[in-house]
Structure 1
């Protein structure tokens, strides 16, 4: 079976070859217009595309959209005349598909052969690609154009439109460079692409700008020449004019909208070239245009900003000589001086400052942030007193925060107030003390900063240094005579803070400086209280080595042992205090002993230690609750078992003020394991509180499903005491545990109802 493709199929199949192979797109479009395949309007749209490949792709889309007949015309005569080499390649491809020709009236190969037989095709002339170098040949071409303009019958058809166009295109660059007549160039532009480039990638505009052909440049611009085309060095026409010093051409190009900041392959914009040539006139042309554009658009950094960023002091000087505004700002409110400072470009900063650049707070802060002392000195020397005390103070505090001690020194010498306060009430010295910046602190102290100042909350530099654990700073402050017993927030002394934050070395240092070991704070706490509260064993050990009062009471009536027993930290603080003679049965204002607090905290080690020092397990607080009540209510089953064992099960049914037993406390809080331990220890399951509630009532009311199950399932058995849970017990409002559960509205309550009913055999 033989198959010969249609023209439509060949365009589709060879699309890539056509897209990248067609090199004379404009000639091809002219032929397609003549054949009625493409309209003039679509031709213009295609030629507006940026690249030749994009233009070719659009041509192929148009041809395919017009159908088979248009595709045939595309190949013959259009492609044949515009691209004879590519046409022959396509024809050879078609011959290789199938040597036997099918229906010549329909398939493409047959169509092409048929057209060839009719003699409609001619062998195109070879492309004239070499530039004509003799003036006589140029004159012949120009004469032909003039004759055509006058209506003469010039044999263009014999020469070929493309050949003539290439010939003229090669000549026109030379004619513009030589300063040819305006009328001649104008006639030639009727037949060439105004944006065509030569072998050096130079457009006509490049050549006119390079050679200063102002009148020709105007003509080329009016014909739609692009200002952004680049030659092989990446330069625009504006680069070329700037490099050759053509001031009027520069003005014409920038007036036409040429970009001022385009960089060439060497990363130079036009102003670099004028500066390198020391061409002040051209530099002024560019600078003045830049200044006029700044009225409308402030997004771009100026030439001067860019010179500062590049640390190009020579360019900066020339720009200033050319009239560049020294303090112009970007949209981000940055000056050229800011960019010089941020880039540590001291030489360029010096040029700008000599030209009168303003030194503001933003610039000074940037030098501070970069820790550039020499730059800061330069700025302050040129500030001429323009910086306010607030601006200098802001810079000083910023330097202190960053521990820039050299910069701090320079700022103070430059006029910053060493003892000024910020909005939070800090002085630079207080801030340095809080942040632990020892070097900065020493500079401030050497500059006569006041040492006895304090924050609004009364914290002194010594308090701040101790809180931060800064030993060198604390030593320095004590050496300068600061009182180690001065009081700060909550009337804490520095020793309180050293104990609170566990700085044993500072505790030692302060005690040697005669800090009072038993100083009492606003809440009655001593340093021993604070160390014990947080379980700081090392600090506690150091305090216990001096004469501290282990029985000192705070405002709650608690001793250090109370706090050690209640802390969640696992430390030997309780053992250390007991070994130092602390009373294990000391009662606070609520009559709670350390054993109460240890049981409530679930600290089995502390409970054991207290029992080993004869603590009373049956001690009652102001509500009659024992340590066992606290352990049961908090669900600390390990402590419950330890208390029961240590007391040999005594107090298992002890009642508090509300006649509740530990079993009541565990049941109403839903602690199943504690309930089980108490029952096994012989707790009475049906004991009544002041409301005549049994533990089962309490569990049912709280919705403690597992506890209810544990209580109703309890069987005393052999050797067990306490009895079985009374399901019919009635409290003081006449309700049984079942009725109490029925009053609840949660799923847990409904489950409890079911559990009790099953136990009462009311349901299966």
Structure 2
């Protein structure tokens, strides 16, 4: 290394560092100009030394921001500056997918015209059509279909465009997809149909439309749940009424034998309970471990629902497979809530106890010294789980 090089090296290093700092500042100015939707500021930033493909912490370049804002003028400026139109951010979103996600049809057409890949997907395997459907962009979805997008394609979760549109409640888009041949009862990886996911999201109009087009009202997901189960567990009162009006099976049980009524009681949702009872829901049904709707209401500390169930003939003496009655659940004798139901914070259980004891004229279970509870005076199981045939006899005796 020559003496001159040794002398000038610190100067060169300092100058290179200054240049890098200046370029980084210009990169930030370019990002800011695109984000603010200011074409003039973008032109000025591109005239300075800058990296047109510079990324932020999310891996997004200026073209991503331009696509998400739908500014065709800025998109064209960046394309002229030789930006990478296939750049993917940390979520796998490319500019074309960003434009579709935000519903900017002109931006989508501009990027397609510039040669953007039509088969590109993000990390969830959402393609152009699926991005449009998830966000309810009817124009972009229709355009994607004209470009050859498949209405039966599915993402990483197994959701087809119809399911994505239904989950978000975009009824007009659902209608378009059905017209283009989408299979109405296609299931995702957890076995849910478009009607299932519409009910999960509480979209009454979309659910009603799907049923009017022939969607299966009794379809079961991998847990054995019907659309009515999902509407009940997610507390969608209006939707439950829509499903009941469409003659969905009110007493359908899932793989655990849990009914929509039991779910609504566990959630403490009186409105749904009233609808289900009005359509004939059976208050005596027990799930696979013997818990009833009354067990669930007691565990949820839902005094008004307990009263409603008792008025419809619910049996406070009904026991589960651990010989726990609703009375023992309300009295706190049970170590845990009924299987499959949440445990509410203990608060107003004295009112529930009063209701149950007044209805059944039963004694509240007393805790023994060893922590166990004494069996009720009328409990023929004497603290033991009844055999299957004993349960049948018990029903006939009543």
TM value normalised by structure 2: 0.76
CA distance in 2, matches of 1:379, 1:566: 53
Give the direction of change, closer, same or farther, for the CA distance of 1:689–1:621 in structure 2 (3 Å limit): farther
Question: Is residue 678 from structure 1 mapped to residue 342 from structure 2 by the alignment?
Answer: no
**Match for residue 21 of structure 1?**
none
2:326 is aligned with 1:646: no
Specify the alignment match of 2:230 in structure 1. 563
Conserved 8 A contact 1:361-1:395: no
Contact map agreement 1:686 1:695 (CA 8 A) in 2: no
Deviation per CA, 1:347-376: give whole Å up to 9, x if none. xxxxxxxxxxxxx64565566456565676
Query: Is the contact between residue 303 and residue 351 of structure 2 (CA under 8 Å) also seen in structure 1?
Result: yes
Asked if the contact 1:585–1:616 (Cα under 8 Å) also holds between the matched residues in 2, the reply is yes
Gap change, CA 1:592 and 1:457, over 3 Å in 2:
same
The answer for the alignment partner of 1:517 in structure 2 is: 184
1:540: how far off?
Answer: 0.9
Higher helix share: 1
Q: Match for residue 582 of structure 1? A: 248
Deviations 1:356-400 (A, max 9, x none): xxxx645655664565656766876x78xx866744993323432
Match of 2:298 in 1: 632
Q: 1:689 to 1:542 in 2, by over 3 A?
A: farther
Give the 3 Å change call, closer, same or farther, for CA 586–421 of structure 1 in structure 2: same
Residue 493 in structure 1 maps to residue 160 in structure 2: yes
Offset at residue 557 of structure 1 (A): 0.7
Q: Is the 2:257–2:287 Cα contact (8 Å) retained in structure 1?
A: yes
Cα deviation, 1:687-716, whole Å, max 9, x if unaligned, reads 5899851599xxxxxxxxxxxxxxxxxxxx
What pairs with 1:578-617 in structure 2 (closer than 5 Å)? 578-617=244-283
Deviation of 1:472 (Å): 2.3
In 1, distance between residues paired with 2:126 and 2:76?
25
Pairwise CA RMSD: 3.6
Work out the CA distance in 1 between the residues paired with 2:37 and 2:230: 48
* Deviation sequence 1:91-119 (CA, Å, 0-9, x none): xxxxxxxxxxxxxxxxxxxxxxxxxxxxx
**Shift in alpha-carbon separation, 1:683–1:600, aligned structure 2, 3 A:** farther
Seen in structure 2, the aligned counterparts of structure 1 residues 457 and 657 have a Cα distance that, compared at 3 Å, is same
Q: How big is each residue's C-alpha offset from its partner over 1:103-145, in whole Å with a ceiling of 9 and x where there is no partner?
A: xxxxxxxxxxxxxxxxxxxxxxxxxxxxxxxxxxxxxxxxxxx
State the secondary structure of the residue aligned to 1:490: coil
2:69–2:102: 8 Å Cα contact kept in structure 1?
no
Cα distance in structure 2, aligned partners of 1:445 and 1:549: 38
Shift of 1:489: 3.4
Is the Cα contact below 8 Å between 1:664 and 1:694 reproduced in 2? Answer: no
Deviation at 1:464?
Answer: 2.0
What's the counterpart of residue 693 of structure 1? 373
Q: Any gaps of 5 or more consecutive residues in structure 2?
A: 1-10, 333-345, 385-398
Q: Do 1:403 and 1:439's aligned partners in 2 also have CA atoms closer than 8 Å?
A: yes
Contact 1:659 1:689 in 2 (8 A): no
User: Closer, same or farther in 2 for the Cα pair 1:659/1:434, shift >3 Å?
Assistant: same
TM-score of the pair, normalised by structure 1: 0.41
Aligned counterparts of 2:174 and 2:367: Cα–Cα separation in 1? 51
How far, CA to CA, are the matches of 2:361 and 2:129 in structure 1? 57
Structure 2 Cα separation of the partners of residues 525 and 456 of structure 1: 21
For 2:135 and 2:51, the matched residues in 1 are separated by 33
What is the CA–CA distance in structure 1 between the aligned matches of 2:124 and 2:17, rounded to whole Å? 45
Equivalent pairs counted in the alignment come to: 347
Instruction: Write the distance in 2 (CA, Å) between the matches of 1:644 and 1:466.
Output: 46
C-alpha distance 689-471 of structure 1, shift in aligned 2 (>3 A): farther
Q: Which residue of 1 aligns with 2:135?
A: 468
Residue 456 of structure 1: aligned partner? 123
Distance in 2 of aligned mates of 1:364 and 1:595: 57
Which structure has the larger Rg over C-alpha atoms?
Answer: 1
1:218 alignment counterpart: none
The structural deviation recorded for 1:583 is 1.4
Q: Aligned to 1:655, which of 319, 335, 342?
A: 319
